[in-house]
Amino acid sequence: MTGGAPSGGAGASLVDRIHDGYRDLSPQEQRAADFMRDHLADLAVYNATEVARLSGVSKATVSRLYRRLGFDGAGQVRDHVRALRATGTPIASESPTSFAAHVDHELLNLRAALGGFDPSVAGALIAGARRVIVVGFRNGYPMALHLRQQLAQARDAVELAPLPGQSIGEELAALDARDVVVLLGFRRRPENFARVLDLVAASEARSVLITDSATLDADVVIRCPVDSVTAFDSYSAVASVITVLASAVLAAKLRDGRERIAKIGSVYRQLGELES
């Protein structure tokens, strides 16, 4: 690594930059780099003086290391680490997360998600569809699986896509105006998520999007924050939205829903699938 440009490139994460250029650092720079790598979450608040003191090197060494890694200074490093967390990258801290702070943030997410949409609109749309396809990738997939399970209690013809190990094209090839596609997409989405949205928009099918993104769009958009005070994103608000949405679908065609629930219960009993 020479000059101010890290070998990993300007778009690389701090950890990647350290890894790629570690052998070219001086012993003191390596010492500071080891500290930065081991205390990544704390770099969101530390200045160069604090990094130097805690890693046991001079402030000049830290400043030089910042430049070698491609940063102008501690402020740019702090912004970089905060941006990493905002994109969903897990960043651990040695300090335990306060349970009270976690609960408070969960409540903020719940209020933002549940206060931002009218469940009856999406509920009526899903209830009236010939067929419902629930689409989720990566972190959205277990949420899609849960939504599909909930909706299948309230109505028939609810499909999940993509199926494990399968592509999604065949599931979306025959969309028409009688169908509704429910898409769940959260940060760190795969590259093709926007193309799936575009394909659904170009079809005659209607769409419901559950997302944390402020820029993605659909016929009905339900925005769910997933940020957390912990190292990992939290999907509590998404799970609550799924519960409210499935309840709205059931309420939209209550008689049909009650009949389906009764039939499902009968099959459970015939198969002995549930504990008595």
Last residue within a domain, chosen from 58, 86, 114: 86
- Are 221 and 200 contacting, i.e. CB atoms less than 8 angstroms apart? no
Overall average pLDDT of the 126-150 stretch: 96
Q: Could you read off the pLDDT of 80-115 as tens digits, one per residue?
A: 887 877 776 666 666 666 788 889 989 999 999 998
Instruction: Tell whether omega for the bond before 6 is within 30 degrees of 0, i.e. cis.
Output: no
Q: Is residue 93 part of a domain?
A: no
The answer as to whether 276 is a domain residue is no
Same domain, 263 and 152: yes
| Separation of alpha carbons 38 and 45, rounded Å | 15
Q: Are residues 123 and 204 in the same domain?
A: yes
Clarify whether residues 69 and 112 are in a common domain: no
Q: For residue 167, what pLDDT band results from cuts at 50, 70 and 90? A: confident
Burial of 97 (0-12, 13-18, 19+ CB in 10 A): middle
pLDDT in tens, 201-249: 999 899 999 999 888 999 999 999 998 888 788 999 999 999 999 999 9
Residues 116 and 81 in one domain: no
Looking at the structure, tell me whether residues 75 and 124 fall in a common domain.
no
Distance (Å, whole) CA 67 – CA 93 = 24
Contacts of residue 29, defined as CB under 8 A and 6 or more positions apart, other chains included, come to: 57, 61, 64, 65, 68
For residue 253, which phi and psi values (nearest 5 degrees)?
Answer: -135, 70
For the beta carbon of residue 269, count every other beta carbon within 10 angstroms: 11
User: In this predicted structure, what is the pLDDT of residue 38?
Assistant: 81
Q: What is the pLDDT of residue 181?
A: 97
Same domain, 174 and 204: yes
pLDDT at 2 over 80: no
What radius of gyration, in Å, describes the C-alpha atoms of the chain?
24
**Residue range 116-133: average pLDDT?**
94
Question: Are residues 114 and 80 part of one domain?
Answer: no
Domain co-membership, 63 together with 134: no
Q: Are residues 106 and 69 in the same domain?
A: no
Q: What per-residue confidence (pLDDT) applies to 3?
A: 41
Domain that includes residue 28, residue range: 14-86
- For residues 252 and 116, membership in a common domain is answered with yes
d(CA 206, CA 183): 11
Q: Do 143 and 223 sit in the same domain of this protein?
A: yes
Here the CATH number for the domain that contains residue 73 is 1.10.10.10
237 alpha carbon, distance to own chain's centre: 11
Q: How far is CA 74 from CA 13, 147, 192, in A?
A: 15, 43, 35
Q: Does 109 fall in a domain?
A: yes
Domain count, the chain: 2
| Within-domain flag for 114 | yes
Task: Check if the beta carbon of residue 69 is closer than 8 Å to that of residue 18.
Answer: yes
**Residue ending a domain, choose from 39, 55, 86:** 86
DSSP string of 196-248, one letter each residue: HHHHHHHSS-EEEEEES-SS---SEEEE-----SSSS---HHHHHHHHHHHHH
Q: In this structure, is residue 118 part of a structural domain?
A: yes
56 and 113 share a domain?
no
Q: What is the CATH number of the domain that holds 228?
A: 3.40.50.10490
Which of residues 86, 113, 134 is at a domain's end? 86
Give domain status of residue 6, yes or no.
no
Instruction: Say what percent of the chain tops pLDDT 70.
Output: 92
- Which residues, in sequence order, are bridge partners of residue 210? 184, 222
